[in-house]
Structure 1
Amino acid sequence: MTAQNHQDHPTASAPTATDRPRVRHETVDARSDGQRLDNFLLRELGAQHDKQPRALVYRLIRKGQVRVNKKRAKPMQRLRDGDIVRIPPVRDLRGDPDTARPAARIPAGWLERVDTLVRHEDEALLVIDKPAGLAAHAGSGFDFGLIELLRAARPTNDMLELAHRIDRETSGLIVVAKSRATLLDLQEQFRPEGVAKKRYLALCHGHWRDAHQTITAPLRKDQGDGRAHRVVVDPRAGKSARTDFERLGISHRGPALSLMAATLHTGRTHQIRVHCRHAGHPIVGDSKYGDRTLDRPLSLNQARRRPELMLHAYRLTLTHPTHGGRLTITSNPPDTWQPLLDAAGLTLKNHQPPR
């Protein structure tokens, strides 16, 4: 018997051998066949249900501590039935009294607002009109996001999972699955070769010359430890990206602005924002890829130095996972857009998006 066994009052912080987290080797079964590695780990480690910080999960993958069949892997790698995933020792940080962060406290005002954000709901899925400024999920600097808000507002739902994501600063439509089968179906639809169509509205600086333009500039995520990531155009190392742009109107007075519709054929991070900048027409209010000098005169709020990001996911078309019918949902841009549109003489009233 060791000296520790003789202690009358062992310290609570001293873990026993059985308490220490160990390496796990999980075999992927048919239920997880086709699932992305990051989503598999988020579920296995409880990050989707606030047991672990999501950022920790991605850090473990990035540092190579997670292995698939003994090889390093990327977050978006698709797992297959029979794959063996190495999961490193991870203490339940949120359950550790020394390191735990308090559970996210979602303000009552947000909870009361949830029903007003729903644009469509049935037995399989939800389509939510996400406000600008609300992240899709909790992350660095944000205690809660849309998915945490929905789970808190609807605790009786067995499962609520994001089928895709949009930027925190971007407003508009996002789909949430209510079952595993629906999630897998929707994820396939939102892949580049899938049948789902995502169309955005963007208010851009300058007069866009071409009524229709396709931009295929390859994109690479430029990220280093300790700094926020940016996406750059890189013809050599970038991943393929395609955005179709349609000019809906140009300003008739005031600063030169163009109202554009953008259709995504790939879903690269910040794709529309970077492609607009690449075309010489940064999106109004884009703090990462925009032009502060051009933005400042457009701010209608004296307390703000620039407008909010004028990018809105306004139209979603997909095949319903249950009955196979075509589902199309639309959403008007936020009311905060209207003063700028009016000042520029721009309108959406006469525009009917193509089917």
Structure 2
Amino acid sequence: MKTSESLSVTFHTIDDDQAGQRIDNFLRTQLKGVPKSMIYRIVRKGEVRVNKKRIKPEYKLNGGDVVRIPPVRQPEENALPSVKLDRVAELESAILFEDERLIVINKPSGTAVHGGSGLSFGLIEGLRALRPNAPFLELVHRLDRDTSGCILVAKKRSALRHLHEQLREKTVDKRYLALVAGEWPKARTKVKAPLHKNVLQSGERMVFVNDQGKPSETHFAIKESLPGATLVEASPITGRTHQIRVHCLHAGHAIAGDTKYTDEAFEAYVKPLGSSRLFLHAHKITFIHPATEKQHTCMAPLPNALETLLTALRRQESSSNEI
């Protein structure tokens, strides 16, 4: 049962850490579980006031603003629908680093960064269920659903702004491990190819190399040469959708397990060896910590499924050397 206090008007004074965000985003953190459509409705109807005045959903808050928040009936239980407890528990064990400013988590493959498009559960929804008393949790950047590895989540708006500035200045160093088809040439240390995103009628996103696309650049280094494949480390200089996957395909070396940007012959080769998912893993991230202003590095170990495939390829190499 909701208490009468919980269904009364509340007033919130914006501090410096909360300043700069849109009123609709602020309300989402205050009214957890309330649909976005309802938040927009109470703003449009003037039920939400800032300094006693009506505002629009895009209004950006300033330090010292006083926000009037009307009583809104929220779901009694399970404000985060269909969040499965076992998957939430998995996220706890995947946390690589946490302090009062941020979380670095080793995102599992197959988990979207947020719910939507038919998905009720995403990484951020799971973290909010895991930390129900956290006043602020927001993704700093994203990873494809099938990509695993390091991802940053801010616990304070000031940390989010700090890390976003680093991303804009390209001072965040993100390193990915990818198993690609064939022998990657030693001389190919980077791929520069403009990328254009297209949304198909089905809603599926596809990215193509196109002169009309956005400038995109990825640096590559060979980590290990294997029979019929190469383990490479990819460092995206820009942050386009599906960038590493499309740049690898464009270079003639598709990533193992990529069903969208695929090399059918390579898939026929690696699948019997245990290729069951996209072999793309964000294994290392380096950034300036928002509190200490010192460089901070986190590393995510390669998942067992990917290690299994590498082991199978190494066995093939050993067998061929013995002949």
Please indicate the TM-score interval, normalised by the length of the shorter structure: 0.7 to 0.9
8 Å contact from structure 2 (residues 218, 234) kept in 1: yes
Q: Is the 8 A contact 2:23 2:60 kept in 1?
A: no
Q: Deviations over 1:296-352 (max 9, x none)?
A: 3322589xxx62000000010000001101100111111101222112229xxxxxx
Q: 1:31 to 1:225 in 2, by over 3 A?
A: farther
Partner of residue 312, structure 1:
281
1:274 to 246, 263, 271: 246
Q: Which residue in the other structure is 1:257 paired with?
A: 229
Q: Which amino acid aligns with 2:281?
A: H
Q: Give TM-score scaled by structure 2 length.
A: 0.75
Runs (5+) with no aligned partner, structure 2: 1-15, 41-57, 63-71, 316-323
Moved more, 151-160 or 107-116: 107-116
Q: Look up the equivalent residue of 1:174 and give its one-letter code.
A: I
- Are 2:220 and 1:232 equivalent residues in the alignment? no
The CA deviation at 1:292 is 3.3
Q: Displacement of 1:201 after TM fit? A: 0.3
Q: Write the deviation string for residues 127-161 of structure 1: whole angstroms up to 9, x where unpaired.
A: 00000000111011211101000100111111111
Output the amino acid matched with 1:334.
P
2:295 counterpart of 1:326: yes
Instruction: Indicate which of 304, 307, 311 corresponds to 1:338.
Output: 307
- Equivalent residue runs for 1:214-225 within 5 Å: 214-225=190-201
How much is the aligned-residue C-alpha RMSD, in angstroms? 3.2
Contact map agreement 1:106 1:149 (CA 8 A) in 2: yes
List alignment gaps of at least 5 residues for structure 1.
1-28, 58-77, 83-91, 97-101, 347-355
Q: Percent identity?
A: 38
Superposition pairs of residues 160-199 of structure 1, within 5 angstroms: 160-191=137-168, 193-199=169-175
Tell me the SS of whatever aligns to 1:137.
coil
Q: Secondary structure at the match of 2:189?
A: strand
CA contact (8 A) 1:32 1:40 kept: no
Paired with 2:60 and 2:213, the residues of 1 have a C-alpha distance of: 26
| Contact kept in structure 1, 2:179 and 2:232, CA below 8 Å | yes
Deviation at 1:250, TM superposition (A): 1.4
- SS in structure 2 opposite 1:127? strand
- Kindly indicate whether the alpha-carbon contact (under 8 Å) linking 1:189 and 1:195 is maintained by their aligned counterparts in 2: yes
